[in-house]
Amino acid sequence: MVVHADSISKRFGRVAVLDGLSLAVPEGSTLALVGANGAGKTTTSKVLMNLIEPTSGTATVLGVDSRRLSPREFARIGYVSEHQDMPQRMTVSGYLDYLRPFYSTWDRALETEIVSEFRLPPDRRMSELSHGMRMKMALACALPFRPALLVLDEPLTGLDPLVRDEFIHRLQRQAGEMTVVVSSHELTEIEAVTTHVAFVDRGRVLFQESLSDLLARSRLIRVTLPTPVQIPRRVPKEWLDMRAEKNVLRFLDTRFCAPDLAAQVTEVVGTVERIDAEPVALRTIYTALARAMRDGRTKA
């Protein structure tokens, strides 16, 4: 595993931000850390980058304890954060000139390609860049040395749709040659590059699996009944975000099994006229899970 976290906890005074979080990131994957504000995603990224130390537990990055990462490992790690610090007085070209000697694998042709693609103004100071330009600049600094690991902490926050598209397009072009860990609320955008998902809640990873497996077992179910319907009192725990409108009952089935669905639905609601099952996007799955966890109806 390129990244492995084992029972990490992090406390700030009496507040436990991470509470026994465990995580495994396979080589070549793009893992999305998904969770609400305050779930612990950013703290996890900072522990992995040795920006803060865990209170307990261990994390290894590229086979090295995160607390002992050296310049050798950092030369293989790219990091882009929503609140990235860059020298305000330096120009775009000046900062790239400064960074280049630190990385023996720096690809000057790739740098030129990214700067041109992002339309970064070479002579403009960092302090004069818009937020969108700053985030593109941060990515332009993290990719030319072709890192083995790229960590992205809320990189799309506050970006307009065009900049998001440009950012994701560049990630798609290079994602296959590196391992990526990304935390973001912009699930529609990051789904395009995601291969694995870890759902984080209150400092713990509730579950982690490949995106393909998660999408395969999740379906939006619409049940049409002959008469107006109310939400049943007892339903399988795998049925989330249940809603009733006239004679249609709708819910997310997180353990979808086509051969068993009709029997399950009939057992719960009785006679039905029609059952439709539709594939869903990552965002739909997340919002249903988050709502259920908020309301105490499920733990995962």
Which residues fall within 8 angstroms of residue 148, CB to CB, at 6 or more apart? 2, 62, 76, 77, 178, 179
At residue 128, the pLDDT reads: 95
CA 5 to each of CA 65, 84, 131, 167, 272: distance values in angstroms, whole numbers, following the listed order: 10, 24, 32, 28, 47
Q: Is 242 strand, coil or helix? A: strand
Contact criterion met (CB below 8 Å) for 106 and 145: yes
**Average pLDDT of the chain to the nearest whole number:** 92
- Mean local confidence (pLDDT), 41-57: 93
At residue 275, the pLDDT reads: 95
pLDDT tens-digit readout, 101-159: 999 999 999 999 999 999 999 999 999 999 999 999 999 999 999 999 999 998 888 88
Entry pTM: 0.89
pLDDT tens-digit readout, 50-94: 999 999 999 999 999 999 999 999 999 999 998 888 999 999 999
Q: Which one, of 147, 176, 181, 138, lies nearest residue 77 by Cα?
A: 147
Greater confidence (250 vs 229) lies with 250
- Mean local confidence (pLDDT), 14-37: 92
At residue 297, the pLDDT reads: 62
pLDDT tens-digit readout, 224-233: 999 998 888 8
The DSSP H or E segment spanning 73 is helix 71-74
Q: Which one, of 151, 148, 156, lies nearest residue 31 by Cα?
A: 151
Q: Bin 276: left if φ > 0, else alpha if -120 < ψ < 50, else beta.
A: beta
Q: Measure the CA dihedral 153/159/162/164, to 10°.
A: 10
At residue 37, the pLDDT reads: 84
